[in-house]
């Protein structure tokens, strides 16, 4: 079965959002605001296999330079050195705080610079007009949803690798018999009955 879903993917890094908060004169308690936006939220690592991480806490006392850990061969390495050596990614803000996440059951520190926001950002959630626009762009009637699935199927199964593997898909959906049930009625406390049409 093929279906489609809508997912909000931000192209803004978590560090960019943190810097926006730091530069906002209307935000008095910067640390609390950053904590509110990221703690107990998920972020996407923009490196490796693009895994999703749950932010347990934000460490404002540590940064990519002074946060060091011991490698498997017993050497000490900073977070900045690790990302440069492992992913060839250079930390540009050496004073940024670090996200604390669980990796294999252990607390690990990762730079917000190398993470993107997962889901709808808090700033959009708190703006009713912008949130309404996001929801409107995701809603599809049955005909629009069916066309989106068909278009995706054609694009997916036109790939050479799938053709070579002999994987095919019927362009027309499977038809099944169904019937429309009569509208139920709801009995109220005063003894009257009303149709459940809403």
- DSSP characters over the chain: --------EEEEEHHHHHHHHHH-TT-S-HHHHHHHHHTT-EEEESSTT--EEEEEEEESS--TTT-EEE-TTS-EEEHHHHHHHHH----S-TT--EEEEEETTEEEEE-GGGEEEESS-HHHHT-HHHHHHHHHHH---HHHHHHHHHHHHHHHHTSHHHHHTT----SSPPP----PPPPPEEE-TTS-EEE---
Q: CA–CA separation, 93 vs 90, rounded Å?
A: 9
Q: Are 152 and 2 in contact (CB under 8 A)?
A: yes
131 token code pair? 């949130």
**190 vs 156, residue with greater confidence:** 190
Among 34-38, 48-52, 185-189, name the one with the lowest average pLDDT.
Answer: 185-189
Share of the chain above pLDDT 70, in %: 98
Q: What's residue 34's pLDDT?
A: 96
Does residue 118 have a pLDDT over 90?
A: no
Strand duo 193-195 + 9-13: pairing: unpaired
Top-confidence residue, 112 or 71:
112
Rounded mean pLDDT, 29-55: 93
pLDDT (0 to 100) of residue 198: 54
pTM over 0.75? The answer is no
Contacts of 124 (CB under 8 A, 6+ apart): 130, 131, 134
User: According to the model, what pLDDT value does residue 84 have?
Assistant: 96
Residues 86 and 91: their CA atoms lie apart, in Å, by: 13
* pLDDT at 177 (0 to 100): 87
| pLDDT at position 128 | 86
User: Residue 85 CB: number of other CB atoms within 10 A?
Assistant: 11
pLDDT at 197: 66
| Other CB atoms within 10 Å distance of the CB of residue 33 | 17
Domain boundaries, the chain: 9-126, 127-165
The domain made up of 9-126 has a fold known as paz domain (2.170.260)
Q: Is the confidence at residue 195, as pLDDT, over 90?
A: no
Average pLDDT, the chain: 87
What's the average model confidence in pLDDT over 151-161? Answer: 78
Residue 30 pLDDT > 80: yes
Say what the pLDDT of residue 96 is: 97
The answer, yes or no, to whether residue 172 has pLDDT greater than 60, is: yes
pLDDT (average), residues 139-145 = 82
Q: How confident is the model at residue 13 (pLDDT cuts 50, 70, 90)?
A: very high
Which CA distances in Å does 85 have to 5, 81, 89?
Answer: 36, 6, 8
Distance CA 52, CA 33 (A): 22
């Amino acid at each position: 079965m093929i279906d489609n879903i809508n997912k909000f993917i931000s192209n803004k890094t978590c560090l960019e959002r943190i810097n926006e908060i730091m530069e906002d004169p209307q935000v008095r308690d910067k640390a609390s605001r950053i904590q509110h936006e990221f703690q107990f939220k998920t972020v996407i690592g923009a490196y490796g296999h693009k895994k999703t991480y749950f932010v347990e806490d934000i460490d404002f006392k540590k940064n990519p330079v002074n946060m060091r850990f011991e490698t498997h061969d017993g050497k000490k390495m900073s977070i900045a050195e690790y990302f440069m050596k492992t992913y060839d990614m250079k930390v540009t803000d050496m004073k940024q705080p670090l996200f604390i996440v669980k990796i294999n059951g252990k607390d690990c520190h990762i730079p917000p610079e190398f993470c993107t926001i997962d889901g709808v950002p808090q700033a959009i959630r708190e703006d009713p007009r912008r949130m309404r626009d996001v929801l409107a762009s995701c809603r599809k009637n049955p005909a629009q949803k069916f066309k989106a699935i068909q278009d995706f199927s054609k694009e997916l199964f036109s790939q050479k690798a799938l053709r070579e593997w002999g994987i095919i898909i019927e362009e027309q959906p499977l038809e099944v018999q169904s019937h429309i049930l009569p509208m139920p009625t709801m009995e109220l406390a005063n003894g009257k009955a009303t149709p459940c049409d809403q």
